[in-house]
Amino acid sequence: MKNDKSNLMRPFGLPQSASTPVVTPLSPSVVYASASPDMLDAQYEGGVAGFTYAREGHPNAHALAKRIDALEGIDGGLVTGSGMAAVSAALLGILKTGDHVVAGDQLYGRSLRLLKEDLPRLGIEVSLCDATRADNVLAALRPNTKIILLEAVSNPTLRVADIAGVAASIKGKGIQLVVDNTFTTPLSLKPAELGADIIVHSVTKLLAGHSDVTLGYVWARKKDISHAINVFCVTTGMTPSPFDCWLAERGLLTFPLRFEKAEQNAVRLADALASHPKIARVLYPMREDHPDVDAAKRLLGKHGCNMVSIELSDQSRGAANRFVEHAREIAFAPTLGDVGTTLSHPASSSHRALSANERMALGISEGFFRISVGIEDVDALIRVFSDAASLT
Ligand SMILES: Cc1ncc(COP(=O)(O)O)c(C=O)c1O
């Protein structure tokens, strides 16, 4: 009888091997075949481990989540399709109409948009406050407050939130403290140790580190909350691509090396630019002239971050254009955390929706720039930025 197996669209399987791969295999399969309906039942009920459908979970997302868990010193995190998917899931996965959220007023722009535009549309109240003092956050609490959302270091003025103070004061109040640890990373800050209930990351940034994947991560301390966030992600399709997870896992292998080098470069660059005659001010949280230096030292321990902000003495758009044009070797791009240094101009990008007066109230003039410092030769970076500032 003719053997027609070769005409069936199923893989023949990998060759037997007594050895195992040294890197995580890439698994793009959308579906996973089970042995029988009983086995499928057992998988769905958690009796046996196994993947079923990639939107619900796949090996590469799982492998990446485990690595980020290990860096944060926690267990049970979930990888999402972007950092904003993680922020959205942390909020929308547990909030309901009538709830109230308190958040820092200098969060990432899209997080602010979610808080200001989307949550109110769903009947969820939001109060924004200056999170550099725990008192401000506590004063904004209401009986229906369910979530506090903070970033340790704000964008782009690099102000430091009193996360430890807030965490200690809300213990036992049934409020979930959500910390977006994107800027600080687990090398500078482990929010779970301070009492944070939920941690989110834009893995797109420093963790993956090469500007070639868009991913997020979310973890919740309590089982029921973790489950609710997970179900919300599966239902709304916040699933990451296996290839992105695979690339990010590879990127993570060098994350500690990259972060330490970028941070050392940031310290050197900030110090060098601080004495430049055409630079009015330099902001770096660990510098003695930063308004939150004591809080930064307490919160971030021995590491700082790789972000430096500067303000040119000439605060005109013309000077800003000249600065970017003369720093041609640096990517003028509104991102952060890449191995290469990137430069962003908040007035024309992240903060363009604000009026000039609103920007000035935050200290963001036309001459204000944010530098995400990379791992290049720091002397070359100092030279490029110093020369560009001289020509403004
Ligand atoms: C602090 C912070 N949180 C969240 C996000 C959103 O991440 P993603 O771009 O991966 O959606 C960003 C992006 O810049 C960010 O800076």
- For domain 255-390, give its CATH number from 3.90.280.10, 3.90.1150.10, 3.90.230.10, 3.40.50.740: 3.90.1150.10
Structure confidence at residue 354 (pLDDT): 83
Contact 314, 365 (CB under 8 A): no
pLDDT band at 3 (very low <50, low <70, confident <90, very high): low
pLDDT tens, position by position, 80-103: 999 999 999 999 999 999 999 999
Span 377-383, average pLDDT: 98
Contact 7, 16 (CB under 8 A): no
Structure tokens at 382: 């100092």
More confident residue, 2 or 161: 161
More confident residue, 62 or 363: 62
Cα–Cα distance for residue pair 112/314, rounded to 1 Å: 29
Nearest CA to ligand 1 atom 7: 83
Q: For 176, phi and psi rounded to 5 degrees? A: -90, 120
Q: For ligand 1, what atom is nearest to the CA of residue 216? A: 10
Given 67, 190, 205, 261, which residue is catalytic?
205
Structure confidence at residue 30 (pLDDT): 97
SS3 string of 300-344? HCCCCCCEEEEEECCCCHHHHHHHHHHCCCCEECCCCCCCCCEEE
pLDDT tens, position by position, 108-140: 989 999 999 999 999 999 999 999 999 999 999
Percent of the chain exceeding pLDDT 90 equals: 89
pLDDT tens, position by position, 259-310: 999 999 999 999 999 999 999 999 999 999 999 999 999 999 778 899 999 9
- 58-253 architecture in CATH? 3-Layer(aba) Sandwich (3.40)
Closest listed residue to residue 79, CA positions, set 249, 253, 221, 250 = 249
With a 6 Å cutoff on the Cβ, whether 184 touches ligand 1 is no
Structure confidence at residue 186 (pLDDT): 97
Span 54-68, average pLDDT: 98
Cα–Cα distance for residue pair 276/322, rounded to 1 Å: 16
Task: Say whether pLDDT at 68 is over 80.
Answer: yes
pLDDT tens, position by position, 6-29: 678 888 888 999 999 999 999 999
With a 6 Å cutoff on the Cβ, whether 81 touches ligand 1 is no
- Where are the chain's structural domains? 58-253, 255-390
Name the percent of the chain in helix, strand, coil, to the closest 5.
40, 15, 45
Structure confidence at residue 9 (pLDDT): 83
Q: How many CB atoms lie within 10 A of CB 10?
A: 7
pLDDT tens, position by position, 209-230: 999 999 999 999 999 999 999 9
Q: How far is ligand 1, taken at its centre, from the CA of residue 183, in Å?
A: 9
Structure confidence at residue 119 (pLDDT): 98
Output the pTM of the full model: 0.95
With a 6 Å cutoff on the Cβ, whether 83 touches ligand 1 is yes
Structure confidence at residue 358 (pLDDT): 86
Instruction: Name the average pLDDT for the chain.
Output: 95
With a 6 Å cutoff on the Cβ, whether 263 touches ligand 1 is no
Task: Say whether pLDDT at 148 is over 80.
Answer: yes
Span 249-257, average pLDDT: 97
